[in-house]
Amino acid sequence: MKRLALVAVVLVAACSAKDTPKADTAAPAMAPAPAPAMAPDTMAKPADSATAAMKMDTAMKKTDTAMKKMDEAKGAMKGAMKKTP
């Protein structure tokens, strides 16, 4: 009986003891090394505003042409539907 009481006391004492976390002794993490700078000859050149404007104009013309073709196709379909009885 005494042994059982002793085991119970030891078990309760072990479970109720607060575990204190160990202090962190690791060295603080270092910041990553900066990326190497690109050489001037390998850097991307900025887009010329005139070139960008020309590309925009071309894209707008293509869009206008596509819209006209779609309108023509719709008109042709409506005309074909009217002709069939």
Residue ranges of the alpha helices (H) in the chain? 2-16, 49-83
Residue 57's φ and ψ, nearest 5 degrees, are -60, -45
Q: Write down the pLDDT at residue 81.
A: 73
Mean pLDDT of 64-85: 81
pTM for the model stands at: 0.34
Q: What single letter denotes the amino acid at residue 38?
A: M
Q: How far apart are CA 48 and CA 37, in angstroms?
A: 24
**For 41, which DSSP code?**
G
Q: What would the pLDDT profile of 9-52 be if each residue is shown by its tens digit?
A: 887 777 765 666 677 677 667 777 777 776 665 555 666 777 77
